[in-house]
Amino acid sequence: MANQPPPGFRHLPGYLNLEAQKALLDEIRTIVAAAPLYQPAMPRTGKPLSVRMTNCGSLGWVTDREHGYRYQPRHPLTNEPWPPIPQRLLNLWNTLADYPHEPEACLINFYSADAKMGLHQDKDEADLDAPVLSVSLGDTCLFRIGGTTREAGTGSFKLASGDVVVLGGTSRLAFHGVDRIYPGTSTLLKNGGRVNLTLRRVMKG
Ligand code: SIN
Ligand code: FE2
């Protein structure tokens, strides 16, 4: 990519093999059956996001028109506590995050063929020392990352199924987003699309 991401950024292509991807996806299916994907809305405007979301963990990231971006312990539609984070994701965190506290939140994003996510910073967490760890499953996407200001240049590269990304150090507050999905690039999800799992430490450790 033209601009290198800030220090602390790591892209681990194919970190999860096919077997691990399938096992993880099975666990995500169980979670989604209990905590259904829903379409969140932007703060103030109420404009729907193209990505559908749910969470697992003691806290989940949500957004709606009235109350904006935040973490909460319950699903906004079912009002049930989020299901727990699968142990294999906690193991991944313990291996890669180099951080003494576990994540409370795992955001589950589902991208259909035409979904995308605008450039943003992850900064709704009280603990910004912990990295953000993300796992891609299913169709390949074009991921964009820049610096810690909107004015900084950005670069883009593809994230494929099984890739893991770590936003640590300076890159923790890097602007990032998903420009597009490449439909038909993976057979992991029966009906196509992309799942992204984002593990975050929310409260100060
Ligand atoms: C996000 O920033 O929440 C998602 C990033 C991704 O889908 O890879
Ligand atoms: Fe993000």
Count Cβ atoms within 10 A of the Cβ of residue 20 and give its class: 0-12 exposed, 13-18 middle, 19 or more buried: middle
Q: Whose CA is nearest to atom 3 of ligand 1?
A: 198
Q: Is the CB of 115 under 6 A from ligand 1?
A: no
Atom of ligand 1 nearest to the CA of 141: 8
| CATH 2.60.120.590 applies to domain 9-200 | yes
Q: In this predicted structure, what is the pLDDT of residue 205?
A: 81
CB neighbour list of residue 78: distance below 8 Å, 6 or more residues apart: 35, 36
Domain residue spans in the chain?
9-200
User: Model confidence over 132-170: pLDDT tens digits?
Assistant: 999 999 999 999 999 999 999 999 999 999 999 999 999
pLDDT band at 126 (very low <50, low <70, confident <90, very high): very high
Q: How many CB atoms lie within 10 A of CB 108?
A: 24
Q: Which ligand sits nearest to residue 197's alpha carbon?
A: 1
Ligand 1 pocket test: pick from 141, 178, 195, 199 the residue with the most ligand atoms within 8 Å of its Cβ: 178
**Mean pLDDT calculated for residue range 171-191:** 98
pTM over 0.85: yes
pLDDT band at 3 (very low <50, low <70, confident <90, very high): confident
Distance from residue 169's CA to the centre of ligand 2 (Å): 15
